[in-house]
Chain A
């Protein structure tokens, strides 16, 4: 059982995306199906594709509109009917957005600093704790773990007031550290990594131990390399959560210089959306671009990472 579990995560990744290739095998098979009528099946298929297609248009159209609007001259930004393909290419909107009253590139750097720092912190601290809870024995292990797990139920809104007071007494309000410090550890990561280490076969760890490796050596040289997939999953979840966060940053940061990118875009939008639409959309394109590129490069991996916790849960 545990031998299966080792490959179950990488295989789960393949399973989510690779399960379809079984289908070509369907081609020579459907003799039974043909008897009941190929037409009924294919009609259903066509309906499914049309419905999904309409839905997909609704999912993508807002982004397409954003892109074309970001390239229009401000005077034409509100033109109706909307043009779905760009007819003018006013790249200066992007320059204006970057050079505008809100220092977007700086804000993007801020977001990157926080996201990278918290991801690095998390992939160092969470696997260690997860390993200890899964594989090491010490008094109080399960009660400490349950306590830690209970913090998954604590919404950020409950801790934000004391957190704000604490950060202001440390002089860290409007400082990126106020976001980084609480993000360096986290119960979700510990939980995910514990699950992961539980799935490793004990025999491998036992072998390392019998070879005389210390607990640290067993962890660092045997367990951690085997958990690469779990660690990268955790890294991407942490990065995206931080990159997209709005609630805590909106309370702990206050100046345009320290603002993270989501805050900066709300500032740029201005009260009641009175900003220059083409420019706001250009800024939004810039803000979304990294996520888009990341998605293009690692679509499968991201989807597998994010759904893993749910499927396994």
Chain B
């Protein structure tokens, strides 16, 4: 498709090397700001973080190389294991709940219904995603108060005893998960809706004529056809949930104890409250490595279950 143009260009190249060189110079000039930003604010800091993770650095004195000490320390750090454990729970919950609820909502919204209803539903589900997580968390922490919150009030009308949503070790993670799911289904849903609308109607109708039931039709025809959207949603929810932070700060402050604290909260605490920059960098690098591995695994598995037309 693109070959005619590239051959034109090659021909042009042999005619006038100066044109080729001018194009290259323009190219470098065009990418220069972005590359500069990348080097200064991404590449440099990543390398610096890796270096710092091999040092003891508490701000007051220059960093001092300690080899892998920070990494071995991590293995025995109970608080780190706890916060990592919490984070894995958030990731698993996000992947399952956000995708299940969003897909269900997308399938429902894709049914025939008056147009104004479609627009209304889509807007209602999507709006929370547009609002800063901090703000919706502020609202929810008021709704989830044990004695004054309306969640417990409505539960009490159906005979449920007051739940300590924010200050009990058994519920704090659940509360964080509820808010995280509530806020993120809208975006995932829109991705699914867009994918569902691309599913050719005649294929579905053909299978209907062939006698496939609704569930079979969904399972065998629709689901494979929207697998690209599923892949995108799973990848973004995983990456997002690994970095979960401000909703926990507002809702539970990581507590009680460390019962809802995420690993990002722990690393910021280590870096900016204890000023243990070396150790905090090691945690950051471990988180990076983890996200990288999970993402790469997903991309490898993608070949097995994502279908392309």
Interface residues of A (CB under 8 A from B): 1-2, 15-17, 19-21, 23, 26, 41, 44-45, 48-49, 51-53, 55-56, 58-60, 62-63, 65-66, 69, 78, 80-82, 124-126, 128-129, 131-133, 136-139, 141, 144, 147-148, 151, 153-166, 181-182, 184-187, 190, 202, 206, 215-216, 219, 240, 243-247, 250-251, 261-262, 265-266, 269, 271-273, 277, 280-281, 284, 287-288, 291-292, 294-295, 299, 302-303, 306-307, 310-311, 313
Given the known A-B contacts A125-B37, A287-B132, are A310 and B46 also in contact in the complex, defined by CB atoms under 8 Å?
no
A15: chain B residues within 8 A (beta carbon): 194, 197
Binds A, one of B90-98, B123-131, B216-224: B123-131
Interface residues of B (CB under 8 A from A): 1-2, 5, 8-9, 20, 22-28, 30-31, 33-38, 41-46, 48-49, 52, 105, 108-109, 111-113, 115, 117-136, 138-143, 145, 148, 150, 153, 182, 186-187, 190-191, 193-195, 197, 228-229, 232-233, 236, 239, 242-243, 245-246, 249-250, 253, 264, 267-268, 271-272, 277, 280-281, 284-285, 287-288, 291-292, 295
Given the known A-B contacts A128-B30, A246-B245, A307-B190, are A26 and B112 also in contact in the complex, defined by CB atoms under 8 Å?
yes
The answer to whether B153 and A137 touch across the interface, beta carbons within 8 angstroms, is no
| B104: nearest chain-A partner, CB-CB | A51
A303's partner among B23, B122, B131 (CB-CB below 8 A) is: B122
Task: Work out how many contacts link A and B, with CB atoms closer than 8 A.
Answer: 288
The answer to whether A158 and B287 touch across the interface, beta carbons within 8 angstroms, is yes
A185's partner among B36, B135, B229, B285 (CB-CB below 8 A) is: B36
| Chain A, interface SS category | helix
Given the known A-B contacts A16-B197, A244-B133, A273-B141, are A306 and B190 also in contact in the complex, defined by CB atoms under 8 Å?
yes
| A296: nearest chain-B partner, CB-CB | B123
Closest Cβ of chain B: how far from A307's Cβ, in Å?
Answer: 5
B131: chain A residues within 8 A (beta carbon): 244, 288, 291
The answer to whether A51 and B108 touch across the interface, beta carbons within 8 angstroms, is yes
The answer to whether B46 and A159 touch across the interface, beta carbons within 8 angstroms, is yes
7 closest cross-chain pairs (CB), A and B: A185-B37, A138-B27, A132-B30, A159-B45, A162-B48, A244-B132, A138-B24
B115's partner among A21, A159, A164 (CB-CB below 8 A) is: A21
| B287: nearest chain-A partner, CB-CB | A157
A131: chain B residues within 8 A (beta carbon): 30
The answer to whether A59 and B134 touch across the interface, beta carbons within 8 angstroms, is no
Given the known A-B contacts A62-B143, A157-B284, are A307 and B191 also in contact in the complex, defined by CB atoms under 8 Å?
yes
Q: Give Cα A35 to B242, complex, Å.
A: 51
Q: Give Cα A184 to B42, complex, Å.
A: 13
A2: chain B residues within 8 A (beta carbon): 1
Closest Cβ of chain B: how far from A150's Cβ, in Å?
Answer: 9
16 further A-B contacts with Cβ under 8 Å, apart from A56-B125, A157-B268, A303-B190, are A16-B194, A125-B33, A137-B20, A138-B27, A138-B28, A157-B264, A158-B45, A158-B46, A161-B45, A165-B48, A185-B33, A273-B142, A277-B142, A280-B142, A291-B132, A299-B123
Name 23 interchain pairs, CB-CB below 8 A, sorted by A: A20-B115, A45-B112, A48-B108, A59-B182, A65-B139, A124-B33, A128-B31, A132-B31, A136-B24, A139-B24, A141-B27, A155-B242, A159-B42, A190-B34, A246-B245, A247-B246, A265-B135, A273-B142, A288-B131, A291-B131, A303-B122, A307-B187, A310-B191
| Chain B, interface SS category | helix
The answer to whether B121 and A158 touch across the interface, beta carbons within 8 angstroms, is no
Q: Give Cα A310 to B192, complex, Å.
A: 10
B49: chain A residues within 8 A (beta carbon): 158-159, 161-162
A81: chain B residues within 8 A (beta carbon): 150, 153
A41: chain B residues within 8 A (beta carbon): 112
A1: chain B residues within 8 A (beta carbon): 1
The answer to whether B24 and A63 touch across the interface, beta carbons within 8 angstroms, is no
Q: Give Cα A19 to B199, complex, Å.
A: 12
The answer to whether A151 and B38 touch across the interface, beta carbons within 8 angstroms, is yes
Q: Give Cα A186 to B182, complex, Å.
A: 29
Q: Give Cα A51 to B117, complex, Å.
A: 13
B23's partner among A137, A159, A182, A273 (CB-CB below 8 A) is: A137
B140: chain A residues within 8 A (beta carbon): 62
Q: Give Cα A272 to B2, complex, Å.
A: 61
The answer to whether B139 and A66 touch across the interface, beta carbons within 8 angstroms, is yes
B112's partner among A23, A265, A291 (CB-CB below 8 A) is: A23
A52's partner among B121, B134, B197, B291 (CB-CB below 8 A) is: B121
The answer to whether B194 and A144 touch across the interface, beta carbons within 8 angstroms, is no
The answer to whether A251 and B272 touch across the interface, beta carbons within 8 angstroms, is yes
The answer to whether A161 and B288 touch across the interface, beta carbons within 8 angstroms, is no
Closest Cβ of chain A: how far from B45's Cβ, in Å?
Answer: 4
